[in-house]
Structure 1
């Protein structure tokens, strides 16, 4: 049988009593522990300050009277300020690290009834963290007539032993992961495991998070859901601020991110706080962070590490406390090797890195996401649309098959559902609507769109027939890139990714706009055609 060791503070008030026989009529927590018939105390480590040495010796003598078999170890621990959490925790931690614990031979009970509230909290934290390898011991006086023994109970911090608590924790965790998944009952095991890890990181850490993955994989939506979860847990009080770094270039990037002072440059007619300041006490999502210049990257690093940065044209630093989530569809390790991304910033971001898979790698999640997109359509348009059974089976069968490439990932799925919901007769998607949409998706992904009705609708049959096949292939590729992108700037960066590195100044959006104009096309005309 293991021996029992109790560790606790001397209670300078509760353990004190007159030195006469009347003291045995009073409940004194430290003494009462050793008076329990159903608790054997083999050793008592009694922590006290030098000022209370006389009381400690007095209490120790009374313990010897009621429990002669108990070994008493008086442990002197002085605090300059017993209410200074840092000092109390630090000295108790030093004590715990230096104490010769032997859990194989001893059971340890940490008494948390005596001592200051700060001391009790520190004992709890050290026990929870297993620096004190025991269970918590709580004592209290017995109700009714005064008597010295009182009652005791042990608090086991292994929460898995408490069914109701374990159930509530499981429910809370399920609620948190549901928030991150927008309530979608996803089935992909690897994705669900990743979401479980993100949930733990989101609620336990303020360190930066890096979300990698292809365009349309859901990085922006997940970042917003992390914010919603942290707000639900009262871990952020500020706003959610999102910016696509690919839209920020040159001096405007510095100004947009870090703000500027009035008169800092031509056009700076008033002070601007900047996005980092706007995200104070909240969450900042920098999507496509790999598009930032090296100077902006350096300032982002300092802002993350020190919470300070210098607005453009200002001599005074600004403070902002925010959590950073960064998103990218680039391989940042390759970008670091190529000199396009700072190694120190990547190292800071790479603490928590999660790669979101594309939709083609999560085909079992297509059906639950199908229902989610139908719900989004209903909320957005105020009209509920459903599939008939045959149509749903046909669409899901195609969507989960290898012939569905889902190049635009969840954006392709969202657009597909929107088209079917808009074109279906009477709010019911039938087999004909699905067959038409399947054909449309196949053409979209095939790269063989010379006779695509979408091109004919955009250009007209006469202009379409007048374009050389060589030019037509290029135009088809450009149109597909536009339809997969959120903005003309994003499409331009993707199309001119190589040549843009060879020019000092770039305006990819204007270059793409001029190319489309040669065929009488505009960004809006392309994206308004289903």
Structure 2
């Protein structure tokens, strides 16, 4: 059994008493915890100030008389102000680092009954951070008859040991992640894991967060939900400020972001605080941050690191304490290579980076999001619209198939639901309305697929050099094949979709092999596509 060491402050009030037999009728925490038969204290590290050296010697002698096996080590730490949190924590941290504490050799109990409230809090924090590698010890007088020993109990900071606390923490964490998902019961495992991580990051840090993903994937809504969650937890006092950086151009970008002084330029009729100062104490969401110019990027970097920036035309810097969430549909690493995005800003943003998948990559989440959009329509229009069973099944069959491209992601889904609800004045979406909407979506997606977007699909997978060696005639077909493969669960499923017409005219079909050979012409394998 390992020896036990107690680390404790001397109680200048609780441990004090008149010298004489009467002191053994009084509960004194430092002496009392060494009087228990079920708690052997081998070493007692007593912390006290110079002014209480006589009391420390007196208490040490009493400990020796009741527990001869206990070795008392007195450590003098003087505080200029015992209620100054920064000073007390700093000196106790130095003390902890100076001690040869080895939990493999000794068990440590950190006594938090004596000392000022500030000292007790600091001991708790140092124990929680493992600078003091032990468990917390509490003592208290026994109720009823006088008892010099009192009672003792150990607080284990491993909250998983406390079933009711662990259950409550798990429940509140689940509520927070559900809040970030707007209450939608999403089924995509990767997305749910990502939201769990975002909840932990958002709740525990004010560092910048980078949300990446295609347009319409929900970056703006997630940023706002993060703000609202932090506001519920009283972690922000300011407001949510959203900026679409794609709309900021030239001198107006500097003025909009950082503000300006009256007369700074033609048309500056008055002072303007700027969006960064408006976000003071709150959360600033810079959507499409990759669209900012290099000068604006440099000032944003300084504002993140120093919380200071210079408004246009000002000779004094302004301050703003905000948390930044940045959103982009660009590959910022590639932008850094191209020289259009600052490497130092990207490094600062890239601490907590989360990539939001598009709707086509989360087809199992279409059904719960469909219900969510119907609820939003009811709140917005004051009228509840629902599907009949056949219509819902037909719409979901199309929406979850490889044919549905969802190029605008959740924006496409929201618009689709709005159209169907609008054309269902009796409150029921039927099969005829669904059929019309499917036709509309097919026409919409076929007309919006440009050559440039097709080229992007290929270049993302094979690179610009490979793209340059593929004829334009082949690019359109190859891009469609790649998109279908990515939306399919297997090579066979993709083959059945792509060869749906010709396979009915063949006596034997091996769509997977046929597709595999086509992809091989361009150096593409199924594994390169992520396996569906």
- Which band: TM-score by shorter chain? 0.7 to 0.9
Alpha-carbon distance in 2 for matches of 1:89, 1:269: 50
Query: What's 1:434 paired with?
Result: 434
Query: What's 1:114 paired with?
Result: 114
Alpha-carbon distance in 2 for matches of 1:442, 1:303: 46
User: Within 5 A, what are the aligned runs for 1:12-411?
Assistant: 12-411=12-411
Alpha-carbon distance in 2 for matches of 1:274, 1:106: 57
1:409 deviates by: 0.5
SS at match of 2:426: helix
Task: Give the TM-score normalised by structure 1.
Answer: 0.83
Q: Which ranges of structure 2 fall in alignment gaps of 5 or more residues?
A: 450-532
Q: Which ranges of structure 1 fall in alignment gaps of 5 or more residues?
A: 450-530
Deviations along 1:2-22, one digit per CA (max 9) or x if unpaired, are 222211111111111112221
1:295 deviates by: 1.0
Task: Give the TM-score normalised by structure 2.
Answer: 0.82
Change (3 A) 1:381 1:448: closer
Alpha-carbon distance in 1 for matches of 2:105, 2:327: 52
1:250 deviates by: 0.6
Alpha-carbon distance in 1 for matches of 2:108, 2:316: 55
Deviations along 1:219-243, one digit per CA (max 9) or x if unpaired, are 0001000100110110111110101
1:440 deviates by: 1.3
Alpha-carbon distance in 2 for matches of 1:22, 1:422: 87
Alpha-carbon distance in 1 for matches of 2:97, 2:200: 28
Alpha-carbon distance in 2 for matches of 1:365, 1:348: 32
Query: What's 1:520 paired with?
Result: none
Deviations along 1:375-417, one digit per CA (max 9) or x if unpaired, are 0000001000111111111111111111111111000000111
SS at match of 2:414: helix
Alpha-carbon distance in 1 for matches of 2:378, 2:447: 32
SS at match of 1:273: coil
Query: What's 1:5 paired with?
Result: 5
Alpha-carbon distance in 2 for matches of 1:209, 1:92: 33
Query: What's 2:412 paired with?
Result: 412
1:448 deviates by: 8.9
Change (3 A) 1:437 1:72: same
Alpha-carbon distance in 2 for matches of 1:448, 1:167: 49
SS at match of 1:364: helix
Change (3 A) 1:448 1:405: closer
Alpha-carbon distance in 2 for matches of 1:115, 1:392: 67
Equivalent residue pairs, number: 449
Alpha-carbon distance in 2 for matches of 1:282, 1:185: 28
SS at match of 2:316: coil
Alpha-carbon distance in 2 for matches of 1:257, 1:336: 22
1:292 deviates by: 0.9
Q: What is the RMSD of the two structures over their aligned residues, measured on CA atoms?
A: 1.3
Alpha-carbon distance in 2 for matches of 1:80, 1:277: 37
1:81 deviates by: 2.2
Change (3 A) 1:102 1:310: closer
Give every structure 1 segment of 4 or more consecutive aligned residues whose post-TM-superposition deviation is greater than 4 Å.
none
Deviations along 1:254-309, one digit per CA (max 9) or x if unpaired, are 11111111111111111111111111111111111111111111111111111111
1:147 deviates by: 2.8
